[in-house]
């Protein structure tokens, strides 16, 4: 009899939960971006928030909570009520690499979140000082680095940034000794490249493109598997020095663990509507983003990908000797 009552109660609670979410969302949904406004992650989040809000019962708003490489905002979402109203815009840095970069991370990227949807990727472009003879192409650059161990300088937007991580991965696979030079953002790094003080920078395709098009820096190679349609003149690492190589800055929507499936389904459906809007996706492609297959956008695929990425970057960080903070 007791077992029957427990089962009956569970059934009632399931019905109540279903009824409660029949009206979801009843108030605005918040996308938490753990970086300052105006950056690449913020811009992408706002584009999706605006498009996903069209025709919806409630708007999606963006809340910027910067600090500690994105881990402050991520931790806040992880500890938020799992009701579908507070979601994280995830990034490879704090949702994968952070597990290997920090001795004590206030959240677990895998255990503390439910995956919702994966955004388009941004491959990286190796941008270099066009005035140096060894930056004319990737082979010249690799030869210089091998002939002069530690002399090639590669800037990055900060320790643990995607540019830093990709640079560590690429130089490790090419077996090169280089000097990584951290900055507080890409702007001062570009200033020093243009001033001849550092050699190169791995930058995301969407922010590298204006610099390359202006001629201020040279696009030497990209980390995409195929040449980018926006910059078809730049070869890929896969077609030259590292066959099969592919890497990118990736993003996704994550919810606190235990968020009702109805809420995740609603957000994913709005996301899919945006991704099936040809005008919207064309703007993304024109800006330098790379579309990924629909099967890879789904919650289960993003969850599996996050697990794989956490393990990958733990190994890359350890192999590169990047000290844990």
Instruction: Please indicate, yes or no, if residue 230 is contained in any of the structural domains.
Output: no
Does 159 share its domain with 105?
A: no
The residue range of the domain holding 307 is 24-121+250-320
pLDDT tens digits, 29-68: 999 999 888 888 899 999 999 999 999 989 999 999 998 8
Sign of CA dihedral 220, 191, 324, 123: negative
Strand ranges in the chain using DSSP code E only, listed in sequence order: 29-33, 60-64, 86-91, 113-118, 122-128, 153-156, 179-182, 200-204, 218-222, 248-249, 251-256
Pairing type for strands 200-204 and 122-128 reads antiparallel
- Looking up residue 75, the CATH number of its domain turns out to be 3.40.190.150
Does 29 share its domain with 60?
A: yes
pLDDT at 13 over 70: no
d(CA 158, CA 173): 21
Does 75 share its domain with 133?
A: no
Instruction: Please indicate, yes or no, if residue 93 is contained in any of the structural domains.
Output: yes
Instruction: Please indicate, yes or no, if residue 45 is contained in any of the structural domains.
Output: yes
When divided into structural domains, the chain yields a total of: 2
Instruction: Please indicate, yes or no, if residue 325 is contained in any of the structural domains.
Output: no
- Looking up residue 149, the CATH number of its domain turns out to be 3.40.190.10
Does 66 share its domain with 52?
A: yes
Does residue 295 have a cis bond before it (omega within 30 degrees)? no
Average pLDDT value for residue range 308-320: 90
Structure-block tokens of residue 97: 């690499």
Does 127 share its domain with 48?
A: no
Residue 15 is predicted with a pLDDT of 47
pLDDT tens digits, 85-117: 999 999 999 999 999 999 999 999 999 999 999
Last residue of a domain, one of 222, 240, 266: 222
Instruction: Please indicate, yes or no, if residue 265 is contained in any of the structural domains.
Output: yes
299 vs 162 pLDDT, higher one: 299
Last residue of a domain, one of 202, 222, 242: 222
Instruction: Please indicate, yes or no, if residue 258 is contained in any of the structural domains.
Output: yes
| Alpha helix (H) residue ranges in 21-70 | 40-53
If pLDDT is split at 50, 70 and 90, which confidence band does 8 have? very low
Q: What percent of the chain has pLDDT over 70?
A: 93
Does 142 share its domain with 195?
A: yes
Does 258 share its domain with 206?
A: no
Residue 17 is predicted with a pLDDT of 46
Instruction: Please indicate, yes or no, if residue 155 is contained in any of the structural domains.
Output: yes
């Amino acid at each position: 009899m007791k077992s029957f009552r427990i089962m009956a109660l569970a059934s009632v609670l399931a019905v109540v939960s279903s009824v409660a979410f029949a009206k979801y969302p009843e108030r605005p949904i918040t996308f938490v971006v753990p970086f300052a406004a105006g950056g690449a992650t913020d811009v992408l989040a706002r584009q999706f928030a605006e498009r996903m809000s069209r025709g919806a019962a409630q708007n999606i708003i963006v809340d910027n909570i910067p600090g500690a490489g994105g881990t402050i905002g991520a931790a806040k979402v992880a500890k938020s009520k799992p009701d579908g109203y507070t979601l994280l815009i995830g990034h490879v840095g704090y949702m994968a690499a952070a597990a290997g970069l920090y001795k004590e991370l206030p959240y677990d990227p895998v255990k503390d979140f439910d995956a919702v949807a994966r955004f388009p990727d941004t491959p990286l472009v190796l941008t270099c000082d066009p005035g140096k003879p060894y930056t004319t192409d990737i082979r010249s650059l690799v030869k210089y680095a091998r002939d002069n161990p530690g002399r090639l300088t590669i800037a990055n937007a900060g320790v643990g940034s995607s540019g830093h991580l990709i640079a560590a991965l690429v130089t490790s696979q090419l077996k090169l000794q280089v000097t990584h030079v951290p900055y507080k953002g890409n702007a001062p790094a570009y200033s020093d490249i243009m001033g001849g003080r550092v050699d190169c920078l791995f930058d995301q395709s969407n922010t590298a493109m204006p610099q390359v098009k202006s001629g201020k820096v040279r696009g030497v190679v990209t980390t995409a598997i195929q040449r980018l349609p926006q910059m078809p003149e730049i070869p890929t690492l896969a077609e030259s020095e590292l066959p099969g190589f592919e890497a990118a800055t990736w993003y996704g929507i994550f919810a606190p663990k235990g968020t009702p499936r109805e809420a995740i389904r609603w957000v994913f459906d709005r996301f899919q509507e945006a991704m099936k809007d040809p005008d919207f996706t064309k703007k993304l492609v024109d800006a330098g983003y790379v579309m990924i297959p629909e099967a890879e956008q789904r919650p289960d695929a993003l969850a599996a990908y996050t697990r794989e990425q956490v393990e990958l970057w733990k190994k890359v960080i350890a192999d590169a000797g990047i000290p844990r903070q």
